[in-house]
């Protein structure tokens, strides 16, 4: 079976992004699906500080 790739767009919603990635990781088809993550850059220094403090999933 051919599976479509998943695109995940992040927009300064770090907690939600972590939850989505963890849910995708727990999916039984996770190893067979391509995941493409798109993220725009930080708009200002405050946003940049939030992004740099994010712990890896």
Domain residue extents for the chain = 6-52
CA dist., res. 20 & res. 33, Å (int):
14
3-state DSSP assignment of residue 28: coil
Q: How confident is the model at residue 54 (pLDDT cuts 50, 70, 90)?
A: low
Note the pLDDT of residue 5: 93
pLDDT tens, position by position, 26-40: 999 988 999 998 887
Burial 26-39 (b: 16+ CB within 10 A, else e): eeeeeeeeeeeeee
pLDDT tens, position by position, 5-33: 999 988 777 788 889 999 999 999 988 99
Its pTM stands at 0.64
The residue assigned the tokens 């039984």 is: 28
Q: How confident is the model at residue 45 (pLDDT cuts 50, 70, 90)?
A: confident
């Amino acid at each position: 079976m051919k599976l479509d790739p998943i695109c995940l767009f992040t927009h300064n919603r770090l907690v939600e992004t972590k939850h989505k990635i963890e849910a995708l990781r727990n999916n039984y088809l996770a190893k067979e699906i391509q995941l493409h993550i798109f993220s725009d850059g930080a708009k200002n220094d405050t946003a940049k500080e939030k992004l740099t403090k994010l712990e890896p999933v």
